[in-house]
Amino acid sequence: MATTRTLADKPTGPLSGIRILDLTSVVNGAYGTQILADQGADVIKVEDPGSGRGDGGDIMRWAGHLPEGAPRGMGPIFLTINRNKRSILINMKSEPGKKALARLIRSCDVLTTSVRYDGMTRLGLSYEDVAAIKPDIIYVHAAGYGSDGPYAGEPAYDDLIQSASGMADILPRTDGNPIPRILPTLVADKVSGLFFSQAVTAALLHKARTGEGQFVEVPMLECVTSFLLVEHLYDHTFQPPTGQWGYQRVINPNRKPFATKDGYIGLLPYTDKQWDQFFDAAGVGEAVKTDPRFADYATRAKHTVELYGMIETAAATKTTQEWLDILKPLSIPVVKTNTLDDLDHDPHLNAVGFFETYDHPQVGAYRQIKPPVKFSKSPSNIRRHPPMLGEHTDEILAEIGGEEG
């Protein structure tokens, strides 16, 4: 049984002292604001009594299976991306709610939102409205699509953005099955959340240098398409194109974990020396070294399908541990392929304390993923449990004066 950890008593991260008014929900914005909260920001999560299912609040409160006896509204994905935040329950359409929001805005450095901008405008919370209350506010909008394009204002979810960005075209280019497919992870939401958190810190740096707040738009389609095309713009980088879309080594159908006698390994020799050493260990070194298709990096790159097929054949000749024992001393990149079930027992993840167990006063024992980035002088920490719906309403209202009503 994992040791139950104690919450930190104060923020130690680089954003300590920054207050963020958080009107995001689901995964994209909420993931981004948790990163900022881990790094020390005081993130105040505004939840609306009529904005979700069940009893309101962030819709991710209601997904998943809770332990017997746990209160509703504390689903597993919500727990994973909402720690270190305080929850205030406000009816943003009521006059008392609007007054409370105005007081909150005056107390904050940043306002973040994933509500469609038209909706923010209807609530009287456009950038111009908010800047009239606090002129130096940093206002960061997690949009689906950039406001200059024809999709502006349309709803956007991970499935839609994977479909629109070209992400759903990658597997067809890899295996020849022409049916578009989306990856079974919320990659569009999470990538956008990373862009989102970086945009907030960059705007804070600008404000520290100039005193200026600003409006920042973080559109999912543009962020995810940019992320995808780092490698897959490929020969379409040139005008006219010199070849096709897609980095050929990466969309190689043989690029995959390779079966060993008793499991799978992730393996990628990279330099000429590493390729020679790997195939020597497999007993086919001379045949590969004399094959003109694999003479150097440029020619290997043109024949990656055949090359990876040879790796597949070679990998099956030894056990996973035998390959690890042979290749690690040679500094050839290799790793055991984990299933999700294996992550609990991975020696590296265990050594770095990747999973941490806490005891939530209402939910009971639950796991968190340790903040992965290490700051030597200003470490991130976990100091608040994911909040119950509206848990900090009275506390926050007392800080800003008045009551929501």
Q: Which CATH class is domain 19-228+353-400?
A: alpha beta
pLDDT at site 101: 96
pLDDT at site 276: 87
pTM for the whole thing? 0.93
Report the share of the chain in percent with pLDDT over 70: 97
Which residue stretches of the chain have pLDDT < 50?
51-53, 404-405
pLDDT at site 54: 56
Q: Which of 133, 130, 110 is nearest to 205 (CA)?
A: 110
pLDDT at site 367: 96
| Domain spans, the chain | 19-228+353-400, 258-336
pLDDT at site 52: 46
pLDDT at site 405: 41
Architecture of domain 258-336: 2-Layer Sandwich (3.30)
Phi, psi of 393 (to 5 degrees): -55, -55
Domains 19-228+353-400 and 258-336 share a fold: no
